[in-house]
Amino acid sequence: MGSQNNKPTLVSLARELGVSRQTISNVINAPHLVKAETLERVRAAIERSGYRPSALGRALRTNRSMNLALRVHTSEDDINGNVMDRFLHSLADAARAASYRITIFTAVDSDAEIAELDGLRAVNAVDGCILTDTTERDDRPRRLAELGCPFVAFGRPWGQLPGTHAWVDVDCATGTRDATLTLHRSGHTRIGFLGWGPGLGTGADRRGGWREAVDGLVPDPDDLSLQVEDGVAAGRAAAAELRRRGATAVVCASDSLALGALPEFARTDDPFVPVVGFDDTPVTRALGVSSVAQPVDEAARFCVATLVGLLRGEVDPAEHQQLLTPRLKLRERVA
């Protein structure tokens, strides 16, 4: 603990030299304002002392903390929560490459999230933020804009496309469409869908890709689509119902649902289980279940690059809106 307090600071250095803090600041940042004799004396003292002008001091002058904020929350369903955890790790990597840091915080709801961001900004603890889990009637973009808080969203503005702010999202419909067409090519026509809904958002988007691909394959495609709560147990029950309706394969909106559907649809000798999950989480990888993978790394790099551009005033947010393409990971069953 001792050496923490012995580290030279602007204050201790100013005291030692009998000059003002402003003088020392000028020596570092505006040497032309300082008399030659003082300049030399202070520079020598700075070198001797090992003093390094602090990021806080720089931040005070520039109004930059070099911190970007992200709300984290423990997902109710840890299987699906894995994607956001991977996003967080990728953000930390991308931020580091741009000399920024990620400061994480928790909040009970959107109101608390905005209040926390406002507070963090008011005390200059963060420069901007990354929003996640965008919803149909999401007022966070408007409120952040009103607060003057630069931000980028991982998640499109559902129902308000394209919006005026910067965002990146994954074109999940492409992923479920690819998954459905792949199952069709391997001989299935009665391909079901397990998802959640209704309303706009990721659930409807993922269902949309399946719906497009099955159109014309069977006379009654919508009979093979079930909307349930997310989770393994709900997936299990719904998969049994889809089997009763004659489905021989199923595309799922999440890996939790896919895990639930697995026992019902894994009863063939085919090395490819005709179940496709979403998000390529460890559980599907471990069990040899196919899944649609989101390009989380790419999304994180987009968020950091765009936010840093916004903070520098170099970027028009409305020109930084992008849909990334997911990738189907086909797997043979394990054991």
Of 147 and 218, nearer to a copy of itself (C-beta) is 147
| Comparison of 104 and 161: residue with beta carbon closer to a copy of itself | 104
Instruction: Report the residue number, 65 or 321, with the smaller CB distance to a copy of itself.
Output: 65
Residue 7 Cβ vs a copy of itself, minimum distance, rounded to whole Å:
7
Strand locations in 143-265, DSSP E?
151-154, 166-170, 191-195, 225-227, 249-252
Least separation in angstroms between CB 210 and a copy of itself:
23
* Mode of pairing for the β-strands spanning 225-227 and 290-293: unpaired
Smallest distance from a copy of itself to CB 100, Å: 10
Select from 9, 107, 128 the least CA-distant residue to 65: 128
Q: How far is the CB of 196 from a copy of itself (least distance, A)?
A: 17
Closer to a copy of itself at the Cβ: 61 or 245?
61
Which residues touch 16 (CB under 8 Å, ≥6 apart)?
A: 45, 49
* CB 149 to a copy of itself: min, Å: 8
CA separation for the pair 17, 72 (Å, rounded): 46
User: In the structure encoding, which two tokens stand for residue 101, read together?
Assistant: 């840091």
Nearer to a copy of itself, 56 or 330 (CB): 56
**Burial readout 30-53 (b: 16 or more C-beta within 10 A, e: otherwise):** eeeebeeebbebbeebbeeeebee
Instruction: Report the amino acid identity of residue 66.
Output: M
Which is nearer to a copy of itself, 54 or 325 (by Cβ)? 54
H helix or E strand, kind and range, residue 296: helix 296-311
Instruction: Report the alpha-carbon angle 13-18-22, nearest 5.
Output: 65
Q: How far is the CB of 109 from a copy of itself (least distance, A)?
A: 14
Tokens standing for residue 164: 């005026």
Least distance from a copy of itself to the Cβ atom of residue 238, Å: 14
How far is 63 from 46, CA to CA, in rounded Å?
24
Cβ closer to a copy of itself: 69 or 170?
69
Give me the sign of the Cα torsion angle 199, 200, 203, 208.
positive
